[in-house]
Structure formats: C-alpha cells, structure tokens
Amino acid sequence: METKRLDESSIQSAVEIIKADGLVAFPTETVYGLGANALSETAVKRVFEVKGRPSDNPLIVHVADFEEVKKYVDEFHPLTEKLVATYWPGPLTLIFKTRPNALPTVVSAGLSTVSFRMPKKKETLTLLRAAKLPLVGPSANTSGKPSPTTADHVFHDLQGKIEGILEGGAATIGVESTVLDISDPTKPPMILRPGAITKEQLEADLGIEVLIDQYLTKESDVPRSPGMKYKHYSPNTKVLMVHEADWSQAVSTLTARGLKLGVMAGPAIMEEVRMDVAATFPFQNDSVEAATKGLFAGLRSLDESLLQLDVILVPTFPEEKLGVAYMNRLKKAAGQQYFGEN
Ligand code: AMP
Ligand code: MG
C-alpha cells in the first residue's frame, strides 16, 4: 500500500480513509498519533496489528470537544469541568468510567474505563471535526521504538502499512500526554503517566492534592496504566544516562575503552565534549523543555547514524516538574543504566 503524505488542503482524503476503516497518522503537540475510527472494531484492531501493540494496552480516544465525551460517559468526577476548561485542548488525557459497550472493547482492552484527550494541533482538530468521529491515536511508531515527533519518523516506521500521514510539523512538547485517572468521583485524581502537565501545575491550578501512581516512584509496583509496564522507547544502540558532573569522565573513560560515542545534549554540555565524540544531536538550549522536545528525535537520529555508534549518552535532569516525564521516558530508553554505575 502507498502511504500518502497529506496536509490540511487534503483533509477530505484523510476523512475518506478514516471512514473506510483506514489509518491516518496525525500531528499533535505531544507526539504523532496513529488515527483510526474509535467506533470501528475493524479499524482499531488494525492499529494494534500495524504497531505490534500488545492487546492488553488500551488506547486514548481523541476528540474535537468535551461534548463528544458525554456520549460515552454518564458519571463525572467533580473536577472534570475545571480540568477540561483549564487544559483542553492540550497534553492532558483524562480517564473516565464509560457506559458498558459504549465503545468497542478493543479500545479499552476490556477495562471499564476509557481515556480521552483533545489535542492541540489545528490540522488534527480540523480532521476530527471534518470526520465527525472520535479517533484512537496511540503513538504512530512500531511498539517499543521511540515515539515519533515528526512525519518523517512516522514514515520511517509505518511506510506501506498505513494509508496516510497528515503533516503538521514537529511536535513541540516531544513526550506523550499526562494520563490522569479521574474515573472514581470519590477519589483524588491520580497521575498514571507523567507528561507536560505536571503534578505541581495540577495542584497549583486545582488547589487540591494530586496522587501519583506508586509505580512511578517505586519501579517494583505494578503500574495502573497497562502500557507503562512495557519496555518503551528503546533504540538498538545502548543508551547511558549521564549526571551533570560526570560528562568529562564519561567521555574519556568510554573513549579509552574504544567505544564510538554519540551525545545528545544542550550547548553547555556539548561545548565540553563535542570534540571528543563521533556524533552529536544538539538540543536547542540547556532547558529540560528543550531536552524533552529533542529526546525521541535524538535517540532515533543517533541510533540510525551511519557511523554505527556503540553508546548514546544522554543528560539526566532533576525529577521535578517536566523533569519527571523526561526521566520516565529516558530511564526506559536507557534500561535504567547510568554512566558510573556499572
Ligand atoms: P499511547 O497511546 O502509546 O500514548 O499510550 C497510551 C497510554 O495510556 C498507555 O500507557 C495506556 O496503558 C494508557 N491508558 C489508556 N487508556 C487507559 C485506561 N483506561 N486506564 C489506564 N491506562 C490507560
Ligand atoms: Mg506509545
């Protein structure tokens, strides 16, 4: 099958593909999603097949407005209105208890809850409105690989396997949405997956305590979000995390072992090590925002380097605010390994 590259002027083609149970990847502010009609079991099953996604990992349903959610959910958490008014459209996924059989069971992987999000890219909002359908939208990558933050990443993974890619430039955030469980109206909201909407921000805006899945602080626990248990974001090349104070030593020690190094980092670190490594992927600046935006793109770029690197070195950030989401993805990519700890 030919994978068509579409833009906003060809939304109608994208709508036709979706209505015929086809798959169209779409841009969002977090990462690119793999879109399919959430009301069609056939279409949703294809999403799992194409990605190689385990069938026990539920999908997020993307909507053009909150009204769409009301079609599937009867009972809402008292904070729902405030959360939606404050963060939609945006990188916050909300989990609701759905009416039985409101959506095909493949969407929720058999759970009694379904997660919804209203994304912020205008191309995708145009598609959702034109199709007048809710769309599932897991990251548009092969399961286990770094999530795609550009249309080219999607093309690389899924070319020939999906009908179309709606182009919308590079994702501005770079990691997937925050997943917030508000399915039990009697309990405080709980973060199941960290993202750009942080615990600190939610607590400040809502004026209440927000829980965080134990699994995120104690890796030993079973995650409440099924997808979090899978090894994610892994390039083929070994990835090592490097603490701020360890860069010179990391580069000299590993180079002395005869290893070919790739480094992704902001200007401060890059200045220090650039001359001594084989390949680099620069972050735009030294902030955690820039690192988060470049994380998956950098992992992909260095992993595919023709230089055949032995190790990719990536900076750590403090685990607060956006640093929680960044470190959550990086630790998985690095298989928890830091330079200096082995
Ligand atoms: P992805 O679509 O690849 O960004 O992954 C979606 C994430 O949300 C996965 O970690 C899922 O397990 C999680 N998720 C989706 N729906 C639910 C749900 N109803 N309950 C708990 N976690 C969910
Ligand atoms: Mg994913």
| C-alpha 208 to ligand 1 mean position (Å) | 24
pLDDT greater than 80 at residue 177: yes
Identify the weakest region by mean pLDDT among 136-140, 155-159, 178-182, 221-225: 221-225
Which atom of ligand 1 lies nearest, measured to the CA of 177? Answer: 4
pLDDT in tens, 63-101: 999 999 999 999 999 999 999 999 999 999 999 999 999
Give the closest residue (by CA) to ligand 1 atom 3.
138
Give the closest residue (by CA) to ligand 1 atom 22.
225
pLDDT greater than 90 at residue 297: yes
| C-alpha 95 to ligand 1 mean position (Å) | 9
Query: How far is the C-alpha of 69 from the C-alpha of 85, rounded, in Å?
Result: 14
For residue 269, give Cα distances in angstroms to 91, 265, 313, 333, 337. 29, 6, 11, 20, 19
Q: How confident is the model at residue 229 (pLDDT cuts 50, 70, 90)?
A: confident
Give the closest residue (by CA) to ligand 1 atom 9.
227
Which atom of ligand 1 lies nearest, measured to the CA of 176? Answer: 4
Proximal ligand: closest to the CA of 73: 1
Question: Is domain 238-333 annotated with CATH 3.40.50.11030?
Answer: yes
pLDDT greater than 90 at residue 226: no
pLDDT greater than 80 at residue 7: yes
Q: How confident is the model at residue 219 (pLDDT cuts 50, 70, 90)?
A: low
Domain residue limits, the chain = 4-212, 238-333
Which atom of ligand 1 lies nearest, measured to the CA of 113? Answer: 19
- The dotted CATH code for 4-212 is 3.90.870.10
| C-alpha 252 to ligand 2 mean position (Å) | 35
What's the whole-number mean pLDDT along residues 257-262?
Answer: 97
| Structure tokens belonging to residue 60 | 């997020």
* φ/ψ bin of 171: left (φ > 0), alpha (ψ from -120 to 50), beta (otherwise): beta
Contacts of 79 (CB under 8 A, 6+ apart): 182, 189, 206, 208
Q: Which residue has the higher pLDDT, 123 or 228?
A: 123
Residue carrying structure tokens 């199941």: 192
pLDDT greater than 70 at residue 342: no
Res 231: pLDDT? 66
Res 248: pLDDT? 96
Res 175: pLDDT? 97
Could you tell me how far CA 91 lies from the centroid of its own chain? 10
| C-alpha 91 to ligand 1 mean position (Å) | 13
pLDDT greater than 80 at residue 230: no
Res 220: pLDDT? 63
Q: Which residues surround ligand 2, an ion (CB under 5 A)?
A: 139
pLDDT greater than 80 at residue 252: yes
Ligand 1 pocket, Cβ-based, cut-off 6 angstroms = 57-60, 95, 108, 111, 113-115, 138-139, 176, 179, 192-193, 225-228
Res 218: pLDDT? 75
What's the whole-number mean pLDDT along residues 53-57?
Answer: 93
Which atom of ligand 1 lies nearest, measured to the CA of 31? Answer: 4
Res 216: pLDDT? 84
Give the closest residue (by CA) to ligand 1 atom 23.
225
| Structure tokens belonging to residue 266 | 């902001």
